[in-house]
Structures are given as C-alpha cells and as structure tokens.
A and B are shown apart, each in its own frame.
Chain A
Amino acid sequence: MTTTIETTEREQAAFAAVELARHPARPRALQVIAAAFDDWTELRGDRLFADDRAVVGGPARLGGRAVMVIGQEKGTDPMTRAVHNFGMPHPEGYRKATRLMQQAEKFGMPVVCLVDTPAAYAGVGAEERGQAWAIADSLLRMLNLRTPTISLVLSEGGSGGALALAVADRVLALENAVYTVAPPETCAAILYRDAGQRARAAAALRPGVDTAHEIGLVDELVPEPPPGAHAHPAIVAAAIRGVLIRHLTELEAIPLDDLLGMRADRYRRAGG
C-alpha cells in the first residue's frame, strides 16, 4: 500500500534544506583534511575491538602547529559510502576518537573534530558493545580534555552521535549544514509514528544550523558561496582552514585552567 503524504510549501522548504545538507557532493571529512591540513597521518583502531571507518583521525599540521584531526566520514561514492557506513559510527568509532583525544592532550595538540553524521549507528552489535556508553564517555572526556578543542559541523550533525564529537571550546558549522536532535525521519517516527512524514518533522524541528547558532550551541557559521559548498569545494576548504586557524590562535592564548572553566560553564548552561 502506498500513501500520498501532502506537504505544505513550508514543509517542502524545510526538507529541501535537509536535502541540501545531504547533497552527495558536499565536502567530506577526508576531503577537507586533504585540502585544509598538511601531513595528515591516519591512526586507526580503538585498541579494544575494531577499526570503525565511519570515524577517521590522526595528527596533522595546520598553520604550522600540530593538531589532532578527528572526522566522521560519509564516503563519496557507493563503495566508500559502504566502507564508511554512511558516516554512522559504532561504539568503536567513538572509542577511537577518545583514544586520539587523550593522545592529543598528552602531546599538547589542539583537537579539531569534523562532524558529519546522520546519527550514531542503530544496530544489534552497536547496542551490545555499548553505543550509549561510548557516546556518554566521549561527552565527558571532551569536557575534561586539557587541550583546546574545536568542532566543525560539515553537513549533517544528527543526534548524540554528532554531539559526542562536538562538546568543544568552539563549535562552528558550514552555513548550509543541519544540526538536529535526531534525523527528521526518526523524529517523524517518534512523534507521528510514521517516518514518511519527515518533511512535517523537518518544518517543526527547524534543523538548520542557524537554530543551533541562535541557542548558542554553535558559535559561528562559515559562509558558503551560492549555491553551496558542493559547488565550491576549494573555496570552502580554504575558508575552513582560515576560520580554524583564527579560532585556534584565540584559544591558544587562553590559559588551560581558564579554558576548561569556560568550557564547563558554557555547557552547564547549554540549550537555555
């Protein structure tokens, strides 16, 4: 049986914004790392169970300084999308990320997280190995990390799966990205018991990063030349490089104890 779901213009516009954020040609984490950083050397595995390819990470150089870059990678074609599980991490992905964060702290490297996931993966293995525990641990570790941290939402920041890599001193987002409590499909399934009503959910949720910016969860939106980042990958990569260096320079001037105090304060008040 097929049902036709009528949508209003407002709902169509809201869902079009979600589709733009999901545009297959938008810059992915590995592309941004290649274009905006130097000497990136990938480190793999969580040392516990597996190497989750939905999360990539390793040290690189940015404007002279060594930084730890961690990104959620969605893949760019059918084969790489499957390899990277469409950017949906298992617990191992978060445990690899926190391993690399601890290492960054040890060597005094700032951490840069590139967030791009519809959600943490929902599956039997992910639950058995403690998806919620891995995310909760990452949230707490990011609050405690004694090194400057920046997170940039590239395209899609969905659910706790995104927040787990976004409890940072500075949170930035490309202006056409979305940042939501859950993908519109999941929201529709929860609220209306019908994932098909995703446009209605998208309109009600206001998924654009401007909403996250309004409530102070995102500090700065990085402009994209029209029609969007998918059409101008080189310009956007250069803009990302510039904005990351500017924020890192600011953060590096703040004594670590002050930085951690400010971070705790900020998230203590997060979301109104």
Chain B
Amino acid sequence: MDRTAGLMPARRQPPLRRLQAPGPQLRPVSHAATIACAACGRRYVADRYAAELNVCGGCGHHARVGAVQRIEQLADPGSATSLRLEVAMRDPLQFDDGVPYTDRLERARERTGLDEAFEIATAAVSGVPVVLACMDFDFLGGSLGSAAGEMFAEACECAVDESRALISVCTSGGARMQEGIASLAQMARCSAGVKAVSDARLPYISVLGDPCFGGVTASFAVQADVILAEPGARIGFAGGRVIEQATHDKLPDGFQTAEFLLAHGMLDAVVDRRDLRPTISRLLDLYTRAA
C-alpha cells in the first residue's frame, strides 16, 4: 500500500523490528501499561507506542496525538520553547446549558494540562527556525474559541517578528459553539494572522490530522502554502453524518478522507506520520534556502 501519494517520494520501508512480535527477551508488562491499536488491536507498551508516534507498526493506523506530543515529534530535540501566552478564560455569552461553560473550560484545562485548544512553541526543524501551532482535540474537541484564535494570531505575529516559518497541526471539530458569534469571528482573526505571515513571505505549512472540520478547515488550516494531511484523516466543512441526514445523498466511498481530498485536488500530499518530520524538513529547506 502506498501511503505517500502526491508530491512526496515513496516512503522508506519501516525497519524490520517494527514487524516482529515482542521477543522472549522482553519482560512481560502489566496489561494496564499497554495500549492497543484501535484498528487492529495489536498491543504496545505505552512508551514504545509514543516512540512510534502513536502509529501502529502492524496496520499503520494513526492514533490521535496531543499538542505537546506533536511539538516533541516535529521539533529538533531540545529546541522547542513554549510561547508563554497569558490566556484568560473568555465567556462572551455567559453560556450555560446546564453546565456553565467556564466549568467545562476549567475541566478541560485540568484534564489536558493546557490553557486552551492550542499549544504554541518556537522551535527549529532541521535547523530552520519555526513557530509550531498545534491543536489538541482533547481540549473541547479542539474547538476554536476566542482565546484559541488569539493564540494562533500570536503565533503568526511571532513568526513575522522573528522571521520564522509557520507550521500548524490542526485537529478540530470547528468553531466553539459556546462562544457563539465571537467564535465565528476567530475565522477572520486567524485569517488576518495568515495574511501577515504571507505578506512577510514566510512559508506556512499546514498539517491536517484526524478530524478537521468546520471553521478551522474553512479558514487558516487550508490557507497555507503547502497543505499536508495524515493517512485516513477525516477532513471537511460539514460532517458526513450531517450531510447524509440533511440531503439523503449516499456518501461516496472514502468520503472526506485525506486520500479522497487528495484525489479531488484539495491537498498537496498525504504523508505518513513517520515521514512528516523529514517531509517538513525538506520543504522548509526548499522554501527558506532558495539559493
């Protein structure tokens, strides 16, 4: 199976050890410390799975990755510095649907250890200075509220001020309904950030993970110079289930998968996560060292 269709050269073969069953030299580990691949059920020791970038060596299934782990996966070791942004909780509508929105935010903060659905860091990728703006789906579905929008705009400003390339990794359900119209405005705010990066002629590479929908896809996630997506990622504007219910259209095979969108001309490449860092490195080299 060719996982790297598009502009990228064929993926290198994974080292053989990935394909071997755990040998007798490994000590048995407790069931609790293992992670099963959601697609094929193959079990991994947690540390080993993280070292494999949450990709199953058996079937190639890409599991979700948190924002902090993303930055570790993409940055040169030791190069990432979190952009310490003071992010106040915002509740423009005093939204309360049984559980106050501020309580939901507080819980998301505790659960993820993040202030918001973004984690922003300056870093180097193969020596090229970058700003990494990574979304975390575990923070209220990676939804885009005004604090998250502000963080992305800050990331863009940092890129412009320090002449860094911008790399975003998006996993999001879209706009954050609990912030209503203020959330919609973030699509314009993030676009203004991308405009500043573009005006400064700095490269912007966008990586779309699973899932990526709504106002995130319909703004900064696809305004990049290069749009990459992970294999099997579901990407679109409206969700497939919504479309099926509203239109009674039969959804085509593979509808809204990264591979489907590649075939429809919406992406530059579908890139296996194990090739993401080398691919981004190569692109950054081409875009920042033109001569």
A160-B96 in contact (CB<8A)? no
Distance A143 CA – B175 CA, assembled complex (angstroms): 20
B180, B222, B256: the one within 8 Å of A136 (CB)? B222
Name the residue of chain A whose CB is nearest to the CB of B215.
A160
Distance A211 CA – B265 CA, assembled complex (angstroms): 38
A130, A163, A205, A264: the one within 8 Å of B187 (CB)? A163
Other A-B pairs beyond A130-B264, A267-B185, 13, CB < 8 Å: A127-B238, A128-B252, A128-B264, A133-B266, A160-B219, A167-B191, A182-B177, A204-B93, A267-B191, A269-B189, A271-B146, A271-B181, A272-B90
Q: Measured between C-beta atoms, what is the minimum distance from A49 to chain B in Å?
A: 12
**A-B complex: 7 closest residue pairs judged by Cβ atoms:** A271-B185, A122-B238, A132-B217, A132-B218, A270-B185, A132-B237, A271-B182
Interface on chain A toward B: helix, strand, loop, or mixed SS?
Answer: helix
Among B219, B242, B252, max chain A CB count under 10 A is at B219
Distance A182 CA – B220 CA, assembled complex (angstroms): 18
Interface residues of A in 86-139 (CB under 8 A from B): 120, 122-124, 126-133, 135-137, 139
Distance A143 CA – B180 CA, assembled complex (angstroms): 22
Q: Measured between C-beta atoms, what is the minimum distance from B72 to chain A in Å?
A: 29
A122, A180, A204: the one within 8 Å of B243 (CB)? A122
Q: Which residues of A contact B221 (CB under 8 A)?
A: 132, 136
Q: Measured between C-beta atoms, what is the minimum distance from A20 to chain B in Å?
A: 18
A164, A204, A270: the one within 8 Å of B95 (CB)? A204
Q: Which residues of A contact B182 (CB under 8 A)?
A: 215, 217, 271-272
Q: Which residues of A contact B183 (CB under 8 A)?
A: 181, 271
Name the residue of chain B whose CB is nearest to the CB of A160.
B218
Residues in A lying within 8 Å of B, measured CB to CB: 120, 122-124, 126-133, 135-137, 139-140, 143-144, 159-160, 163-164, 167, 179-182, 186-187, 189-192, 200, 204-207, 211-212, 215, 217, 264, 267-272
Distance A151 CA – B250 CA, assembled complex (angstroms): 36
B219-A215 in contact (CB<8A)? no
Among B92, B218, B220, B243, max chain A CB count under 10 A is at B218
Q: Which residues of A contact B203 (CB under 8 A)?
A: none
Between-chain CB contacts (< 8 Å), 23 pairs: A120-B238, A123-B246, A124-B251, A124-B252, A127-B243, A127-B255, A128-B252, A133-B266, A135-B218, A136-B222, A144-B195, A160-B237, A164-B218, A181-B180, A186-B242, A204-B180, A205-B181, A206-B93, A206-B181, A207-B180, A267-B189, A271-B149, A271-B188
Interface on chain B toward A: helix, strand, loop, or mixed SS?
Answer: helix
Q: Which residues of A contact B220 (CB under 8 A)?
A: 136
Q: Measured between C-beta atoms, what is the minimum distance from B203 to chain A in Å?
A: 16
Interface residues of B in 187-231 (CB under 8 A from A): 187-189, 191-196, 198, 214-215, 217-223
A271-B175 in contact (CB<8A)? no
Q: Which residues of B contact A137 (CB under 8 A)?
A: 223
Name the residue of chain B whose CB is nearest to the CB of A209.
B181
B155 at the interface (CB under 8 A from A): no
Q: Measured between C-beta atoms, what is the minimum distance from A100 to chain B in Å?
A: 19
Name the residue of chain B whose CB is nearest to the CB of A214.
B92
Distance A164 CA – B195 CA, assembled complex (angstroms): 15
B103 at the interface (CB under 8 A from A): no
B186 at the interface (CB under 8 A from A): yes
A160-B195 in contact (CB<8A)? no
B184-A159 in contact (CB<8A)? yes
Q: Which residues of A contact B266 (CB under 8 A)?
A: 130, 133
Q: Measured between C-beta atoms, what is the minimum distance from A201 to chain B in Å?
A: 8
A120, A180, A215, A264: the one within 8 Å of B195 (CB)? A264
Q: Which residues of B contact A192 (CB under 8 A)?
A: 97
Interface residues of B in 70-105 (CB under 8 A from A): 90, 92-93, 95-97
A131-B218 in contact (CB<8A)? yes
Q: Which residues of B contact A272 (CB under 8 A)?
A: 90, 92, 146, 182, 185
A124-B243 in contact (CB<8A)? yes
A129, A179, A271: the one within 8 Å of B264 (CB)? A129
Name the residue of chain A whose CB is nearest to the CB of B217.
A132
B165 at the interface (CB under 8 A from A): no
A120, A181, A211: the one within 8 Å of B175 (CB)? A181
Name the residue of chain B whose CB is nearest to the CB of A200.
B97
B236 at the interface (CB under 8 A from A): yes
A191-B97 in contact (CB<8A)? yes
Given known A-B contacts A130-B264, A181-B175, A143 and B191 have beta carbons under 8 A apart: yes
Name the residue of chain B whose CB is nearest to the CB of A265.
B192
Name the residue of chain A whose CB is nearest to the CB of B196.
A264
Name the residue of chain B whose CB is nearest to the CB of A159.
B184
B175-A182 in contact (CB<8A)? yes
Distance A192 CA – B177 CA, assembled complex (angstroms): 11
